[in-house]
């Protein structure tokens, strides 16, 4: 995500965009765990920004600048693994302090958030939601870290997975495993490779991920 120089006019333009894949509004900062989920999602997807002191409907509420920056830094460093370095813009608009926290796209994916139950989960950003990454996303990131001039090759596993998906329907991971007769781990590895090489699309539908041949 390209960093923007902010002034009152450009802030108003951002607010008019609403919440989307690279932007979220936060009325106030109260929970580092919840913030970490947003940082994880942006860092794993395309980067993004949190407009702090802005209500969901776009109205300005304002914040205490230094407190919000401190909480955001705690969320990004103490509740994200690996830690994420944020940049901040502070603006005085209509007598209110607005903080913009800029989250960069990470080159060390997955960035995982430490959740309320103590478990580490990776998130991705889809539209205006933070979604727990699927096993296939985690495998894609592992493969990308290791990829060096890889080519896609067809073997029995790949052929069985493709045959299971050959009718064009979008299938859940569980359905692909069942129809292909391949172990879950091998299906995850194979789907990740197929997504990376543009053979399969990963879609978010009905609160879950599905996979479809392209």
Question: What domains, with CATH codes, occur in the chain?
Answer: 8-132 (3.30.950.30), 135-213 (1.10.10.10)
Query: Which positions of the chain have pLDDT values less than 70?
Result: 1-5, 147-149
Q: What pLDDT shows up at residue 174?
A: 98
Residues 6+ apart with CB under 8 A from 26: 35, 38, 50, 51, 52, 53, 54
Residue ranges of alpha helices (H) inside 79-196 are 135-146, 156-164, 173-180, 184-196
Cα(128)–Cα(28) distance, integer angstroms: 17
Tokens of 6: 């902010």
pLDDT, mean over the chain: 92
Report pLDDT digits (tens) over 79-126. 999 999 999 998 888 889 999 999 999 999 999 999 999 999 999 999
pTM to 2 decimal places: 0.91
Taking alpha carbons only, the member of 179, 178, 168, 177 closest to residue 203 is: 168
């Amino acid at each position: 995500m390209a960093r923007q120089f902010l002034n009152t006019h450009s802030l108003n333009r951002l607010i008019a965009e609403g919440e989307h894949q690279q932007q979220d509004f936060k009325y106030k900062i109260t929970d580092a765990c919840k913030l970490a989920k947003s940082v994880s999602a942006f860092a794993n997807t395309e980067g993004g920004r949190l407009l702090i002191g802005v209500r969901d409907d776009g109205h300005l509420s304002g914040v205490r600048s230094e407190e919000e920056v401190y909480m955001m830094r705690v969320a990004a460093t103490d509740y994200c693994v690996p830690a994420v370095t944020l940049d901040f813009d502070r603006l005085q608009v209509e007598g209110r302090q607005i903080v913009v926290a800029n989250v960069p796209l990470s080159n060390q994916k997955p960035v995982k958030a430490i959740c309320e139950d103590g478990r580490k989960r990776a998130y991705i950003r889809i539209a205006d939601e933070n979604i727990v990454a699927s096993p296939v996303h985690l495998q894609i990131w592992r493969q990308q870290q290791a990829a060096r001039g890889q080519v896609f090759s067809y073997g029995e596993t790949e052929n069985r997975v493709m045959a299971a998906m050959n009718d064009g329907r979008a299938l859940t991971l569980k359905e692909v495993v069942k129809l292909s007769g391949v172990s879950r781990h091998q299906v995850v590895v194979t789907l990740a490779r197929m997504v990376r090489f543009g053979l399969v699309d990963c879609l978010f539908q009905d609160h879950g991920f599905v996979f479809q041949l392209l």
